[in-house]
Structure 1
Amino acid sequence: MRERGRTRRLFGLGARTGGAMLKNRMGGSADWDALGEALFDGLSELRGPAMKLAQIVAQWDDVLPPELADRLARLQRQAEPMPWPRIREVLVAEYGDLEARFRHVEEAPFASASMGQVHRAVTRDGETLVLKVQYPGLAGALESDLRQVKRMMRLGSWLNVSPSRLDALFEELAAGLRDELDYRAEAQTLARYRVRYRHEPRLRIPEPIKALCGERVLAMRYLAGTPLDEATAADDGLRQQVAATLADWLTEELFTYGELHADPHAGNFAVDAESRLIIYDFGAVIAVPKARLVTMMALLEATLAGDPMAMDDALLALGGRQGQGAPLALYREAAEAIAPLFAPGEQDFADVRIHRRLRELSPRVWAAMDRLQPPADTLLLSRALNGHYWNMVRLGARLDMHRRCEPLLAWARAAPEAALRTPPA
């Protein structure tokens, strides 16, 4: 009965969203404020994968109407917490007698997210930990929600994406969400990243407490910090320091280790009292093969050269652009919009002219989707990179992207022989 009610509510929210988008596409005026409030209220209550999907979409605030993006963004910081008695049930199932393990567990969550919430706790030895607790019944809700989302995606044929491509996109998204339920795997990822970056003084990664980690609870040592979305109001020097750390870390992740942190919403990051970047959540980390990086850099080089034919070749190599007739004019305009970020010298990520130009291009991108056909196995990668980009925007980052990218472009040009070797620093 509970699953049927959840399905009905999710279907109602999906129908309302689809109706608003269709009305907007047909030249009408959709009430994005009202839709945003309805989605926030409904998804906060439903939690789980439905809410996670909305958080992902909220990161694409260059595509969504601003009123809708602002309200969906609240899901990242104002999600309705699950009542303590339900959370306590999970902790008791995991640990048995809580009093034997902990002096105290805070009933009010330290943070609430889509798939779980975080509570501070003090061990019998007096050490402060955080317990990431998975919502009860989430495994069943995940599969139910995914079935409903898949139906809605099929109803969204107006996106001009082929059914097989849409199904492949869905399956990649579903696999990523299922991976986030594996808290033991996340504990192992935390441990791996701590070893990997143990000599990087600008980063802090929580230490998992192996004896207290289980299937539905992840225990970590508490690291205090200012959430990244609050740090965006800090002084310019701190913001530039954090932005440079974030950019360096992402580059090293991708081009040295072939991985990417794929859940970039601001709640997963903080800044400590010594201006170090804290990375809290490692539930979503994806592998990025070197061959894909080479092709992505070929696309970037073609874009910076303003070469639409080379851009089309790179998109085909990535597995996209399956339709007939390359949208060469769209490629040229996209190149003109993106190129300023990679011009020699320091570039301002907060330059609204760039975002305005990209927003103006969005309707044309959707209209050309029957020819562009996004690569099915790059959904998580592209949305992760997009989310990290918007964190840079919110920090007001000023970075010399030309200097950063030149050695990576040179490495890609030397492929395929060098494709499996570490690029220059």
Structure 2
Amino acid sequence: MRERGRTRRLMGLGARTGGALLKTRLGGQADWRALGEALFEGLSELKGPAMKLAQITSQWDDLLPPDLAEELSRLQRQAEPMPWPRIHEALVLQYGELDRHFSDIEERPFASASMGQVHRAVTHTGETVVLKVQYPGLAEVLESDLKQVKRIMGLGRWFKVPQARLDALFEELAASLREELDYQAEAAALARYRERYAHRDDIVIPEPLAELSGAHVLAMRYVAGTPLRELETADDATRQKVAATLADWITLELFTHHEIHADPHAGNFAADDHGRLVIYDLGAVIAVPEERLHAMMALLEATLDQDPVAMDTALLAMGGRQGVGAPLALYREAAQSVAPLFAPGKQDFGDVRVHRRLRELTPKVWAAMDRLQPPAGTLLLSRALNGHYWNLVRLQARLDMASRTAPLLAWSHGKRHA
């Protein structure tokens, strides 16, 4: 009965979303604020894959109507926690008698998300740990939820996105959500990353505790830190230090280890009292093949050269364009909007003029959707890069992106033309 009620609610939210999209497509004005409020309230309570999809979507806030983007962004920071009795059930299922393992568990979570929430606890030895608890029954409703998500994604056909491309995007999302429920895989990723960055004194990754972890609870040593979203009012030196570490870490991940942290939620990162970057959550790590990096760098090179024909060639190679009639004017505008971030010297990611120009392109991007398509296999990668970009914006980073990208462009250019 509970699953049927959940399905009905998801179908209702999907229908409401579809109605707003259809009204817009027919030239009307949708009430995006009301839709966003409805999605926030419904998905915050339901949790699960649909809420995760909305969180992913909210990170492309430069492509969404501003009112909708603002409401969906609340899912990143204000999601309602699951009541303690349900979480208590999950903990008892994992540990049996909780008193045997812990002297205290905080009933109020200090972080809650779409697939689980995090509670502090104290062991009998006096050590503070964190327990990442998967929402009870989530694995059972996952496939049912995914069916509804697939129906909602089917609305993309109204914007002339081919069914094969929608199916590929859905499968990439579904695989990621299934993997995110695998806490043993996340524990292994934490251990791998701790070993990888053991020599770094500017990166901190919590230690997983195998003896207290299981299929639905991941235990880690507690690492205190101020979440990135709360660093906007921190002193400038701290923000710049964390921003530089974050930017260099993303580059190292991509071009040395061919991986990337694919859940750039601002709550998954923090700064400790020493200004070190803390990486809390490794439930979504994706591989990035070298050939994909070369394709991305070819597009970036063409963009920085402000060469719309080369941009089109790069998008065709990535599978991000179809049909006839390349939108060259749109490419040119996009290049002009992005180029300032890569000008020589330190560039200000807090410059609202860049974001304003990108947002002004949104209607033109949607209008060209019959020719521009999301490349298959890049949904999570583009979401990760976009999310990390907005984390740098939140930090009001000032970075010399020209010097950071020059050797990468030279490396990729040489490989592609060897």
Please indicate the TM-score interval, normalised by the length of the shorter structure: over 0.9
Contact preservation (8 Å) 1:323, 1:373:
no
Instruction: State the Cα distance separating 1:393 from its structure 2 match.
Output: 0.9
Alpha-carbon offset, residue 155 of structure 1: 3.4
Partners of 1:11 and 1:148 within 8 A in 2: yes
Are 1:137 and 2:137 matched, yes or no?
A: yes
**By how many angstroms is 1:319 displaced?**
2.2
CA distance in 2, matches of 1:133, 1:211: 15
Opposite residue 178 of structure 1, the aligned amino acid is R
Provide structure 2 residue ranges, at least 5 long, that are not aligned to the other structure: none
| Separation (CA, whole Å) in 1 of partners of 2:59 and 2:186 | 23
Counterpart secondary structure, 1:250: helix
AA of the residue aligned to 1:52? K
Deviations 1:127-160 (A, max 9, x none): 1100000001101221111101111222331121
Contact 1:298 1:314 in 2 (8 A): yes
SS at match of 2:255: helix
Matches within 5 A, 1:182-193: 182-193=182-193
- The equivalent of 2:374 in structure 1 is 374
Please give the per-residue CA displacement for 1:156-176, whole angstroms capped at 9, x wherever unaligned.
311210011111111101111
The superposition leaves residues 192-235 of structure 1 with CA deviations (integer Å, 9 ceiling, x where unpaired) of: 00000111111110000011111110000001111111111112
SS in 2 for 1:215: coil
Q: Tell me the C-alpha RMSD between the 2 structures.
A: 1.3
Contact 1:208–1:220 (CA<8 Å) still a contact in 2? yes
% identity of equivalent residues: 74
Deviations 1:314-371 (A, max 9, x none): 1122122132222222111111111111111111111111111111111111221221
Deviation at 1:410, TM superposition (A): 0.6
Partner in structure 2 of residue 125 of structure 1? 125
TM-score by length of 2: 0.97
Q: 1:274 is matched with which residue?
A: 274
| Corresponding position of 1:304 | 304
Pairing 1:384–2:390 present:
no
**CA distance in structure 1 between the partners assigned to 2:176 and 2:212 by the alignment:** 24
Matches of 2:407 and 2:416 in 1, distance apart? 16
1:313 corresponds to which residue? 313
Q: Secondary structure at the match of 2:30?
A: coil
Q: Structure 2: how far apart are the matches of 1:168 and 1:323? A: 18
Is the contact between residue 64 and residue 362 of structure 2 (CA under 8 Å) also seen in structure 1? no
Residue in 2 aligned with 1:422? none
Residue 410 of structure 1 is matched in structure 2 by 410
Match of 2:35 in 1: 35
Maintained 8 Å contact 2:260/2:286: yes
Shift of 1:417: 8.7
CA distance in 2, matches of 1:316, 1:30: 33
List alignment gaps of at least 5 residues for structure 1: 419-425
Moved more, 41-50 or 71-80: 71-80
Q: Corresponding residue for 1:212?
A: 212
Matches for 1:238-387 after TM superposition, within 5 Å: 238-387=238-387
SS in 2 for 1:335: helix
Kindly provide the amino acid, as one letter, of the partner of residue 373 in structure 2: Q
Structure 2 vs 1, CA of residues 23 and 417 (structure 1 numbering), >3 Å: closer, same or farther? closer
Instruction: Give the superposition deviation at 1:120.
Output: 0.6
Greater CA deviation, 323-332 or 164-173?
323-332
Q: Whole-Å Cα distance in 2 between the matches of residues 20 and 268 of structure 1?
A: 32
Question: Aligned residues, how many?
Answer: 418
Tell me, in whole angstroms, the C-alpha distance in 1 between the residues paired with 2:236 and 2:20: 39
Letter in 1 for 2:5: G
Helix, strand or coil at the partner of 1:60? coil
SS in 2 for 1:415: helix
8 Å contact from structure 1 (residues 101, 123) kept in 2: yes
**Shift in Å, 1:113:** 0.7
Stretches of 4+ aligned residues off by more than 3 angstroms:
24-27
